[in-house]
Amino acid sequence: MYSSPRSAHQTPTSPRRDANRSERIGAAIMPASHQERDLAMPELPEVETVVRYLQPLLLGRRVVSVRAARQRLRSPIPRNALRLLIGQTFTAVRRRGKWIVLTLQQHCLLVHLGMTGRLQVLHADTPLARHCHLVCWLAPEPRQLRYTDARRFGAIHVLPPAEAERFLERQLGPEPFCLSAVALHHRLQATARPLKVALLDQRLLAGLGNIYADESLYQAGLFPKRAANTLSLCEAGRLVNAIRTVLHRAIACQGSSIRDYLFGENGRGSYQEEFLVYGRDQQPCRRCSQPIQRCRLAGRSTYFCPRCQPQKPTTR
């Protein structure tokens, strides 16, 4: 299962290139009507939930040994660099976009969960699960930090703190909770892409994915196919408020467990029970009873209410 190390400092690759690939793989094995729901990727609320689970279990713990599996994830696992973590203590655990940032004394361990990735802290005697790609032995307690990923769309990087920050800043736009209506409006003015597609761009806004983009656009009453640069400042303000409301509620529910997402020792989120549009094709809108519609945007299933999210002209 485990192999000899590779080069310690490999250039990280972007997390954005695997979405279409993952969807093609899923198309071969899942019914089309459920394909997008079943392949839902952990988004900001799910990653934030994992971070909050990890914080009390990792802070102050020291890495005493590391092993990485032979199989690569979206990019090769940096085995030599992982060995640099031995002897270092975890000093911070945080989220940036959909990335988990584990800060040690001299390096940062960056983890992207991809479609099916899980980070767990388990007792060392716990049997090793299938598809386990990374094990870090911790001290003083006999525990292990483990990363498992059945589909292997996740990513692991080990970088010095300054380099890790530069990597994240290159990949990601601002956090939704730090963005004003004016700032979002300014960013949307720069693109004529459909609004839903723009919101999925991690360089425009970090953390949103298919689920929470749909739910936020519904809450804001905005048509997902509308050109992003046609939004008024007032509409951008509605959208910012909707995004924050949806994300805060989803975090309180510990995310959405549709199929693969679990946290800790099989903890499940519950926000999927509150979806207003996502995955509800042809079901009645909870506000107006109009059937929810489904369309495809940038290869993704998109759900909306044609009455609550009326189509607007794409020109001013």
**95: β partners:** 100
> b/e for 137-150, b at 16 or more Cβ within 10 A?
bbeeeebbbbbbbe
What is the C-alpha separation between 22 and 201, in angstroms, rounded? 17
Q: How many CB atoms are closer than 10 A to CB 282?
A: 9
Indicate the residue type of 79: R
Judged by DSSP in three states, 184 sits in: helix
- Is the distance from CB of 112 to CB of 15 less than 8 angstroms? yes
Write b or e for each residue in 167-190: b if 16 or more Cβ atoms lie within 10 A of its Cβ, otherwise e: bbeebbbbebeebebeebbebbee
Under DSSP, is residue 210 helix (H, G, I), strand (E, B) or coil?
helix
Task: At 54, give phi and psi (nearest 5°).
Answer: -75, -30
Whether the CB-CB separation of 157 and 79 falls below 8 Å is answered with: no
Q: Pick from 245, 269, 246, 249: which is nearest to 259 by CA?
A: 269
Nearest to 248 by CA among 304, 286, 207, 199: 207
Alpha helices (H) in 16-65, listed in sequence order = 19-27, 32-38, 44-58
Instruction: Tell me whether residue 38 is exposed, middle or buried, using C-beta atoms within 10 angstroms of its C-beta: 0 to 12, 13 to 18, 19 or more.
Output: middle
Lookup: tokens for 270: 């519950």
Catalytic residues: 42-43, 98, 300
